[in-house]
A and B are shown apart, each in its own frame.
Chain A
């Protein structure tokens, strides 16, 4: 196993009095793809959002336990959430480019970090779009609205936008669930390339996708982490009956 990038210790989360995550502990390896699978409502997306503290935005959420990223607890009182989110980028289920040009979408993150020099921004935009494998498709219309692109292209613009902030970790919340098969396979190829540089954590409904893209897989059920192991092991020889039932399609 690679070095541990994220270490979660005994994490619980409640909405009001409603437990959504129960005593989750896991280690997420660096520069690998880790997939979270499980039926709807099992807590996998909620768990993903605890890793960049996106749940902070929701009222009435109580979180206990700790999440260590590079051995620093991100729920520590003196953690700056803004810096955390620069380090832990996020791709959402529904592609959400801003109603701005392609260029301005990518330049958004660098700009809020105080980079205003045009040559520097140009460079970041090109590098990020190339990394997201969409440069050739959009290089002639960088100043067109990002909303004019197709769904799959929009999602890759969102990935490029996240890369432009230079994160260590990229969280992906069902990034291809709204896309057609061709766009999906492009995103999957991209994930494969990005893992050489980034730690990627992906939530997916699609078990084939988890099997194809990930190195490690964690199975969640009703707010519990049932088991986590290498993807190969989970899909060929899971140690828990629940996991086996789920991956063989007996429920979910």
Chain B
């Protein structure tokens, strides 16, 4: 009997150990392969030049800029919207009301919708409906907004990352003790003054974390921008919101599947992957550090 229990213990311990090792193995091999393949090709020229020779040579400058601009527009759209929704849910909504329950359900559902569906939605809603109507009303039907561009791609991506922002901010708001709100209200502050001066400043860590998590998620996603604004190749950077753009994730995809000479682009694929990984990892690292610093300061 005793033997049997000890044996079970050993088996469970080994199983958990193997699982952990497997995860570490996966991460390490991804990093090792990417770094080994990408590092030798990573240099300033690669980061600062346009692709050349049918994209088999040159750099990824427009894809870096495209990804950066897209994530900035995305954050500008998603963060205020997400913060306002989180404030509503945490401060104003009556938990038992059907309206609050509906919003919560919608946020949860939004978080599990496959990203390609967001892409299709962006195509149908932003391009097919909003863009076409803007063209019809302002440009006499001439095609300008009713086609893929960086604005629609960013807004589509904003929808995808919205739940991340809402959840992070709402969590932060809920960690602000009731005593703080009561102290403010007892001094004659209105509810809005309390939110503005106590709740939002106290949630800065959550707002920052949510923003960075959203940005790092959005920077790597391809599916939502596939139909809504990402371009195969552009010889110029986007100049307006109605221009298309190149993106790192999409660039990797086309390099490895659509290129005329996939083998010739292999070094570029690796180096681009490395850039994308470095970008998302460092954004996540910043989020972790910020959260840690602000939490420490709060104490």
Contacts and interface: CB of A to CB of B under 8 A. Distances in A.
Interface of A: 52, 54, 57, 59, 82-83, 85-86, 89-90, 92, 94, 96-99, 108-109, 112-113, 147, 158, 161-162, 165
7 nearest A-B residue pairs (beta carbon) = A86-B188, A96-B179, A90-B186, A109-B187, A85-B188, A96-B183, A112-B189
Given A98-B198, A99-B202, A99-B298, A86 B187 contact: yes
Contact of A92 (B182, B189, B190): B182
A94 B179 contact: yes
B140 interface: no
Given A92-B179, A96-B179, A99-B202, A57 B188 contact: no
Given A98-B198, A99-B202, A112-B197, A85 B187 contact: yes
B193 interface: yes
Interface in B166-217: 177, 179-180, 182-190, 193, 197-198, 202
Q: Say what secondary structure dominates the interface of chain B.
A: helix
Residue among A109, A112, A162 with the most chain B CB within 10 A? A112
A178 to B, nearest CB: 12
B263 to A, nearest CB: 58
Contacts of B189: 82, 108-109, 112
B208 to A, nearest CB: 16
A112 B187 contact: yes
Interface of B: 94, 177, 179-180, 182-190, 193, 197-198, 202, 298-299
B92 to A, nearest CB: 13
13 contacts: A59-B94, A85-B186, A90-B182, A94-B179, A97-B183, A98-B184, A99-B180, A99-B202, A99-B298, A112-B187, A158-B183, A161-B187, A165-B188
A57 B187 contact: no
Contact of A54 (B177, B182, B197): B182
B297 to A, nearest CB: 8
A96 B198 CA distance: 12
Given A96-B182, A98-B183, A99-B202, A83 B188 contact: yes
A165 B187 contact: yes
Given A96-B177, A98-B198, A108-B197, A113 B188 contact: yes
Contacts of A89: 186-187
A98 B177 CA distance: 10
Contacts of B299: 147
Contacts of B179: 92, 94, 96
Contact of B193 (A83, A98, A112): A112
A31 B162 CA distance: 54
B180 A98 contact: yes
Nearest to B298: A99
